[in-house]
Structures are given as structure tokens and as C-alpha cells.
Amino acid sequence: MTVARPAAPASAPGAPEAVADDLPFEAALAQLEDIVRQLEKGDVPLDRSVEIYERGEALKRHCESLLKSAEARIQRITLGADGQAVAVAPLDVE
């Protein structure tokens, strides 16, 4: 016999809105910059400041993840003595 469990809420009250996996880097960065502007102004109520700060943290993690993924796709082309491409290797970003 299986027991039906109630569906979990999408997010707990007061929890930051989840960042969609398909949110483009540019859109996430624009949202993050807007959050920074709001917090720097200093006229946002404390509870709202905490909420948007948490959203900013989620957006920051999302942007970092997208950047790491992009770096992993970039490759360094090795040229031979004749100037022709002979191999590709991961780009050393460090």
C-alpha cells in the first residue's frame, strides 16, 4: 500500500525565487546589477533587502555556473610549423 504525500510547495514563504536553469547569462547579470543598485541606495526595507540579497546570491551562483560551462567549451588551437591547425586542447584559463 502506498501513502500519498502532499506535494511540496514550490518554495517556502520568504524563500528566494529559484533561478531558472535556462535564464541567459546576460539576463541574470542584468537582474543582479539591478539588485546591487537597489541595495546600494539603502532605501529598501530590511526584510526586502534580505530577500533580494538572497535572490542576488542565487543569480551570482547561476552566472558563475554559466561562466564555468562556457570556459569548459573554449578550446585552444595548436598550430603546426606550416600554420595549419594540428590539434585542439582545453584552454588553460588559470
Residue pLDDT, tens place only, 23-68: 999 999 999 999 999 999 999 999 999 999 999 999 999 999 999 8
Provide the pLDDT for residue 51: 96
The count of residues in the chain is 94
- Give residue 80's pLDDT band: very low, low, confident or very high (50, 70, 90): confident
Residue 89 has a pLDDT of 72
Q: Are 33 and 55 in contact (CB under 8 A)?
A: no
Query: Tell me, what's the pLDDT at 92?
Result: 64
The conformation of residue 83, written as its DSSP 8-state character, comes to S
